[in-house]
Amino acid sequence: MLLAAPAVLVVAFVVVGGSAMVGAQSLGLMPLVGPPHLSTVAYTAHAGDVVGGAGLSLVIAGTSTVLACLIGFTAALVMMQGRWCGKLVAAMSTLSIPVPHIVGAASVGLLLADSGLLARIFGAAGSWPELVGGPWWLAVIFEYAWKESAFVGLVVAGTLATRSVSYEETAALLGAGRLRRLRHVLLPLSLPSLIIAGTIAFIYSFGSYEVAWLLGRPYPEPLPVMALRLYNSVTLTSRPEAAAVAVVTAVVSLAAAATALALLRKIPLWR
């Protein structure tokens, strides 16, 4: 407890202090010009766009997280096989983790855009699918799914490596086939780490702006992109609105974390 105190204090100062500042700005208590004045105007100014943006962010983060969990879990299973292809998948996952999201997004853009590398190679200019800046946000979802699946895969593989071998051997000796072992041994063993890694991936994709900003379209906007646009707007009154959007983003993220914790409590392995 005492050992953790310095770290906890620093983190608490930044998180609590920062959140309080954002909250105060969103309520009009820290205006750039004019006297401070308590109001909820910032929250209602773009209410429709905020609700739409929250929905869009949820869909993007949700879809990419589900994909990342599916791909990551599969990758973890392949890594557990230990053969050369397992090592290859592990190496690829380890390599893609340190690539920053903004670099990943720029690369995906250069690859998949209308005048990107693939469109030029296939000579498909004009008939290239609308992946970047398209109505389905495919490039954004693809980028998050790719990056986060590597993260999910390594976390799950780490859990499985320490626990699964003996259980799996026992199950195999008792005559369980591959599917049964997957359902009754591997999946339950990896579920807690899958939920934790998935929640981290979800909150990250929900709250970060650079990928959606680089690969998305200008309207509608996910919440973080909207917050950044308002924060950078030349209109002096829009900073409280940006803070309000940030507060909404934080509340949804907190709710996601709480849901994940509630789910974890129901899993026997976690207790």
Partner 1 sequence: MKPALPMRHRTMPAAAAAGLLFLSSCAAVPAGQPEAGSWEEVISEAQGQTVKLWMYGGDEQGNAYVDEHLIPAAAAEGVNLERVPVADTKDSLNRVLTEIQSGTADGEVDLVWVNGNNFGTGKEAGAWSCGWTSLLPNMALTDPADPMLSQDFGTPVDGCEAPWSKAQFTIAYNSAAVPEPPTTLAGLLEWVRSHPGRFTYPAPPDFTGSVFTREVLYSVSGGYANVPLAFDEVAFDRLTPALLKELEDLKPSLWRNGSTYPKSSSELDAFYAGGQVDFTMTYGPAALTKLVADGIYPAGTKVLSLEEGTVGNASFLAIPSTSGQRSGAMVVANLALSAGQQAKKADPRIWGQFPVLNPGALSSEERALFEQLPSSPVVPGYEVLSRNANPELAAGWVTALDEAWRRQILAGS
The residues of the shown chain that bind partner 1, judged by CB under 8 A, are 29-36, 49, 113-115, 119-120, 125, 130, 133-135, 213, 217-220, 231-236
- Least distance CB 263 / partner 1 (angstroms): 36
What CA dihedral angle connects 164, 205, 70 and 140, to 10 degrees?
-150
- Least distance CB 59 / partner 1 (angstroms): 17
Q: How is residue 39 written in tokens?
A: 């109001």
Between residues 54 and 76, which has the closer beta carbon with respect to partner 1?
A: 54
- Least distance CB 213 / partner 1 (angstroms): 8
Between residues 33 and 174, which has the closer beta carbon with respect to partner 1?
A: 33
- Least distance CB 230 / partner 1 (angstroms): 11
Nearest-10 crossing angle of helices 138-173, 84-96: 140
Between residues 162 and 235, which has the closer beta carbon with respect to partner 1?
A: 235
* d(C-alpha 52, C-alpha 73), whole Å: 31
Between residues 128 and 151, which has the closer beta carbon with respect to partner 1?
A: 128
Between residues 153 and 224, which has the closer beta carbon with respect to partner 1?
A: 224
Q: What angle do CA 57, 62, 47 make, to 5 degrees?
A: 25
- Least distance CB 12 / partner 1 (angstroms): 21
Mapping DSSP onto H, E and C, the string for 58-123 reads: HHHHHHHHHHHHHHHHHHHHHHHHCCHHHHHHHHHHHHHCCCCHHHHHHHHHHHHCCCCHHHHHCC
* d(C-alpha 30, C-alpha 27), whole Å: 8
